[in-house]
Amino acid sequence: MATIYEVSKLAGVSLATVSRVINNNTRVSDRTRLKVETAMNELGYRPNSIAQSLASNRTNSVGIMVSELNGAFFGQMMAGIEAELRAAGKHVIITTGHSEEEKEHAGIDFLISRNCDALIVHVEAIPDDELKVLAQSDTPIYFTSRLIEGLEDSCIYLNNELGGYLATKTVIEQGHTNIAYIAGPQFKPDSQDRLTGHKRALAEYNLPFDENLYFIGDFKETGGRDGIKQLLSNPKPFTALVCANDEMASGAMTYAREHGIALPNDLSIIGYDNIIFSRHIYPKLTTIDNPVYEMGHMAAKLVLKNVYKQKDIEIKHSFEPTLISRDSIAQLKP
Site residues for a copy of itself per CB under 8 A: 1, 46-51, 53-54, 59, 61, 68-72, 74-76, 78-79, 82, 86, 91-96, 110, 113-115, 138, 221, 250-251, 253-254, 257, 276-277, 279-282, 284
Q: For DNA, which residue of 9, 10, 24, 26 counts as binding (CB under 7 A)?
A: 26
- In sequence order, the 6+-apart residues with CB closer than 8 A to the CB of 47 are 4, 22
Closest CB to DNA among residues 29, 233: 29
Contacts for 175 with CB less than 8 Å, ≥ 6 apart: 331, 332, 333, 334
What separation in angstroms does the CA of 175 have from each of 209, 284, 323, 331, 332? 17, 20, 17, 6, 5
Query: Could you tell which of a copy of itself, DNA, none binds residue 78, using a CB distance below 5 to 8 A set by kind?
Result: a copy of itself
To a copy of itself, the closest distance from the beta carbon of 29 in angstroms equals 27
Q: Is 202 helix (H, G, I), strand (E, B) or coil?
A: helix
Q: How far apart are CA 172 and CA 239, in angstroms?
A: 10
The binder of DNA chosen from 37, 43, 52, 306 (CB under 7 A): 52
244 Cα distance to chain centroid? 16
Q: Could you give the angle at the alpha carbon of 285 between the alpha carbons of 220 and 253, nearest 5°?
A: 55
**Cα–Cα–Cα angle for 146, 151, 153, rounded to 5 degrees:** 90
Residue 195 C-beta: closest distance to DNA, Å = 46
Binding at 277: pick from DNA, a copy of itself, none (beta carbon under 5-8 Å per type): a copy of itself
- Residue 138 binding target from a copy of itself, DNA, none, CB below 5 to 8 Å by type: a copy of itself
- Reference 166, options 193, 191, 201; nearest CA is 201
Contact between 229 and DNA by CB under 7 A: the answer reads: no
Q: Contacting DNA (CB under 7 A), which of 9, 37, 43, 47? A: 47
Comparison of 34 and 262: residue with beta carbon closer to DNA: 34
| Residue numbers at the binding site for DNA (CB under 7 A) | 1, 3-5, 12-20, 22-23, 26-29, 31-33, 45, 47-48, 51-52, 54-58
